Amino acid sequence: MHARRFACFVLGLWLGGGLLVAWLTWVNQQVADHLVNDSNPAARLELRALGPNSRAVLRYQASEEGRRYYQAWESAQIILGFAFFTLMLFGSRENKYLLAGILVLILLVVFERTLVTPALTAQGRLVDFAPPDAAAAERNRYWVLQTGYLVIEGVKWLFIVALAGQMVFSRQGSGRSRDSRRKLDEINKPNYSRVNW
């Protein structure tokens, strides 16, 4: 497979993986609320045994799963990013701007994985069981961290779309030339006769 096509495929996987993890996390939170509100009678009896905090326990479990998904996805992004960078560096003739864009993506993921995600996880665990009216400062800090995380994710997705667009629409380094069709037609000219075996 051509290196540029494979690179676009990898960028699509990267973007799709991020969307999948975000969707799974959202669905987990919805399932926790659904179990409390619309569960069958047997499940309601079991949830009653948890006491009035049954919703908080289920949301905590869903949040922990989401945190594990994000940590695993960030680790996978770092591995995928380095493999992708190596492929583009040694397996293609792409320009330095594309390689710099891939490095920026990797650095954003490393920043998320080492600084933002641990702080967000710790802050999220603090507010998981806090009453809604108490711990307003902790909740505000959590939402600031969550907003920062979402901004970094948005920047990553914009970089991915920009890199894919650059590879799809750029002819430089792709091995294609603007006059390739003309060169193909020159084979049938008298001066370029076919070799007869």
State residue 68's pLDDT score: 93
pLDDT surpasses 70 at 21: yes
State residue 182's pLDDT score: 52
What is the tens place of the pLDDT at every residue in 153-183?
999 989 888 888 887 777 665 454 444 455 5
What is the tens place of the pLDDT at every residue in 133-156?
767 788 888 889 999 999 999 999
**Residues of the chain above pLDDT 70, percent:** 84
Q: Supply the pTM of this predicted model.
A: 0.74
State the DSSP string of 171-190: -TTSS--TTHHHHHHGGGSG
State residue 44's pLDDT score: 72
Cα 74 to the center of its chain, rounded Å: 8
State residue 20's pLDDT score: 92
- For the CA atoms of 156, 157, 162, 168, the dihedral, rounded to the nearest 10 degrees, stands at 130
pLDDT surpasses 70 at 17: yes
What is the tens place of the pLDDT at every residue in 68-116?
999 999 999 999 899 888 888 887 777 788 888 889 999 999 999 999 9
State residue 97's pLDDT score: 84
Cβ atoms 105, 159 nearer than 8 A: yes
State residue 12's pLDDT score: 87
Cβ atoms 74, 109 nearer than 8 A: yes
The two structure tokens encoding residue 30: 């919805």
Rg, the chain, Cα only: 25
- The model's confidence at residue 196, banded by pLDDT at 50, 70 and 90, is low
The CA distance from 196 to 145, in Å, is 71
H-state helical runs in 94-135: 96-111, 117-127
